[in-house]
Chain A
Amino acid sequence: MMAERTRKKLPIAAIIATIPLMIESVGVYIFGIGLSVYFSFTNTVVFPDYKFIGFHQYERLWSTDIWLTAVKNIWLFGFLSIAANLVFGYLLAVFMDQRIKQEDLLRTIFLYPFAMSLIVTGLVWQWVLDPNYGLTATMHGLGWSNFYFSPLNDANTALYGLVVAGIWQGAGVTMAILLAGLRGVDAEIWKAARVDGIPAWRTYLFIALPMMRGAVATVLVLQCIGVLRIYDLIISMTGAGPGNSTMMPAVYVLQMLTDRQNAAQGMAAATTMLLPVVVVLLGIGIYRLFAGRKAAAA
């Protein structure tokens, strides 16, 4: 397809037009990342220091309790919030798919939190979960004095508060993407399932869901990137506290770059964050390569 569009003469204008692309892709994603990785092997504090010192920063990183907490947190938070988001989002999508009244109104309600900044989301939920003001105070006001729910004040539960806020912000998007996926499933499939007497919930779970792999993959990619980058929500909702209990890798990197003034340590953490991304992308690339070869051989 592309070959058809290729012109024999070198298109000078096209090269000029793509100068920003070249600058960005080479400057930021090769040179920039290369520089970050290199600095992780130095003693850079605020300004660059190019003296190579080996793996010292990585040794320090993996013997720092706060970083270990951050790594544990991102796995737990990632697993919980992605799972809850998918389940809740798919439930909403399936229920929205039942010829219900006011579908557009409900869609608007489920999606609006996504339009707002994660800073706003964090502040809102910090207030809802504030024992002196939000949910707990409301329940006390209604005479339910034993009620106590303020996960953010306890280092053991603060992460679950973040998960709730994350679901509130993102479940609507998951619903919208999965609903679009559901409506894209071939009508004949539903007829066949009905004729075979398969219950609706089984059709949704075991027939429709595997057929909308694209939509599910989209949701997963969106969620994974969101989890890896999570920063704003932590800053506004818990400030990584109480007592660093909700520390995340992205927050750790930024603290090293700003307050702690230890850029090299921050870059070691950032390089570690990049690693899973590179592994996954390489894995997908290799898989596609082999899948392509198989298709060509068949």
Chain B
Amino acid sequence: MSTLAMDIGIRAADEPWGGRPKRLTAGRVGLYAFLIISAIFFLIPLYVMVITSLKAMPEILSSNVLALPEKPTVQPWIDAWLHACTGRDCTGLHPGFFNSVKITVPAVIVSIFISSLTGYALSFWHYRGAGFFFGLLVFGAFVPYQVVIYPIILGLRTVHLFSTLPGIIAVHTIFGMPVLVLLFRNFYAGLPIELFKAARVDGAGFWQTFFRIMLPMSVPITVVALILQVTGIWNDFLFGVIYAGRANWPMTVQLLNIVHTTQGIPQYDVNMAATIEAAAVPLIIYFVSGRWFVRGIAAGAVKG
């Protein structure tokens, strides 16, 4: 590490430091070696999954794990999607995909709408007692899910929503709200108060100010919330397996069931193809959204 001292430069604000290297020093070589080895550590599992999913089973058992497929085939991908078995049902992963869509789309819309409305009300229309409810909600962000799982089961049973699609959507809204409300409240609190006052002077009421002024202004934070929620809900396993009911099991639950249904030698090719298919949606969102994704994580992490 001390070899890095050679690279000291004057640091400009917001820029990486270390002088612009004029020649390759031992320190630079070590630096890049570390970064490249780290990159390999992160990439190898994905690489193995992709190439294995493109090989037929005989080739998998006979060839090196890291070797490129000799006869690439997309049959495992098709089998994983249409024919892979969960116990006795051999429907593949596609029912789980559509269940995940049916859960994710409404849950994302409902949770974001309620949270932005709540955040707006909390930052501009503070009333006595609002702080108490908000404090409880922030506390909720730290509560281990296990503490409230059973009471929520009882609650949903009482209103006959346990093991239903609306039930799991409600659950995702409940668990999404602490972070989302915080996100939106902080965003609205950062807007100039004059904006709100001007709308009030012009005679706009609570709802008009929200729909005409605040909602259009909150596009950036909504994008962050969208990324956070879509990936979070799509990747969820725990709530899906408990609250959705067998008929609505999301993709993650079905993936695990497919992989755990094994007769004889594990079907590595189909299992890995299924895993990639289940990870595809959040991965695409990640690669498309780039730095927005990081902002979402950081925003979601900063609580209180």
Contacts and interface: CB of A to CB of B under 8 A. Distances in A.
Nearest to A177: B298
A99 B137 contact: no
B278 interface: yes
B283 A14 contact: no
Q: Please report whether the interface of chain A is mostly helix, strand, loop or mixed according to DSSP.
A: helix
B143 A95 contact: no
B206 A24 contact: no
Interface stretch (B10-18, B68-76, B78-86, B87-95): B10-18
Classify chain B: how many residues form its interface, as a range.
35 or more
B264 to A, nearest CB: 13
A253 B148 CA distance: 11
Interface in B187-224: 193, 196, 205-207
Interface of A: 2, 4-7, 10-11, 13-15, 17-18, 20-22, 24-33, 35-36, 39, 48, 91-92, 95-100, 103, 106, 108-120, 123-125, 127-128, 133-134, 137-138, 141-142, 168, 172-173, 176-177, 180, 183, 186-187, 190-191, 194, 199-201, 218-219, 221-222, 225, 228-229, 231-232, 235-236, 249-250, 253-254, 257-258, 263, 266-267, 269-271, 273-274, 277, 281
Given A95-B31, A123-B275, 6 more contacts: A18-B118, A29-B139, A97-B16, A113-B42, A183-B14, A270-B150
23 contacts: A2-B126, A13-B205, A18-B122, A20-B114, A29-B140, A32-B152, A33-B143, A33-B148, A98-B31, A100-B35, A112-B287, A117-B279, A119-B255, A119-B256, A127-B45, A134-B65, A183-B16, A200-B7, A201-B2, A235-B256, A249-B146, A267-B150, A277-B142
Interface of B: 1-2, 4-5, 7-8, 10-21, 31-32, 34-35, 38-39, 41-46, 48-49, 64-66, 114, 117-118, 120-127, 130, 132-134, 136-137, 139-140, 142-155, 173-174, 177, 181, 193, 196, 205-207, 231, 234-238, 242, 252, 255-256, 259, 268, 271-272, 275, 278-279, 282-283, 285-287, 290, 293-294, 297-298, 301-303
